[in-house]
Amino acid sequence: MKHELENILNAVRIPLEEGSTPRVIPETVEDFARLFAEASKVGLKLTLRGMSTQGIVPAGRLEVSTLKLNIVEEGSEGDLMLEIGAGAAFDELERLTKEVSIEWSEYSGTIGGCLCGRRDIKAHILLASRVMGMTFIRPTGEIIELGSKSVKDVVGYNLTPLLFGSQGRIGLAAKVIINTAPIFREYSVPSANVENNRNSTNSGKNIVERLISTLDPGGIFS
Band (143; pLDDT cuts 50, 70, 90): very high
Q: Are strands 72-74 and 46-49 parallel, antiparallel or unpaired?
A: unpaired
Whether 59 shows a pLDDT value over 90: the answer reads no
Which residues is 177 bridged to in the sheet? Answer: 83, 133
pLDDT digits (tens, 9 = 90+) for 168-185: 888 999 999 998 887 655
Arithmetic mean of pLDDT, 156-165: 67
**pLDDT at site 153:** 46
Q: pTM for the full model?
A: 0.82
What confidence category does residue 1 fall into, taking pLDDT thresholds of 50, 70 and 90?
low
Maximum mean pLDDT: which of 67-71, 78-82, 101-105: 67-71
Domains of the chain, CATH where assigned: 2-65 (3.30.43.10), 72-179 (3.30.465.10)
**pLDDT of the residue at 127:** 86
**Per-residue model confidence (pLDDT) at position 184:** 53
Average pLDDT value for the chain: 79
- Backbone φ and ψ for 187, nearest 5 degrees, come out as -145, 160
Q: Is the confidence at residue 3, as pLDDT, over 80?
A: no
Q: Give helix 29-42 / helix 2-12 axis angle, nearest 10°.
A: 140
CB 116 within 8 A of CB 87: no
Complete edge-to-edge strand list for the sheet that includes strand 131-137:
72-74, 81-85, 172-179, 131-137, 143-147
Separation of alpha carbons 99 and 86, rounded Å: 22
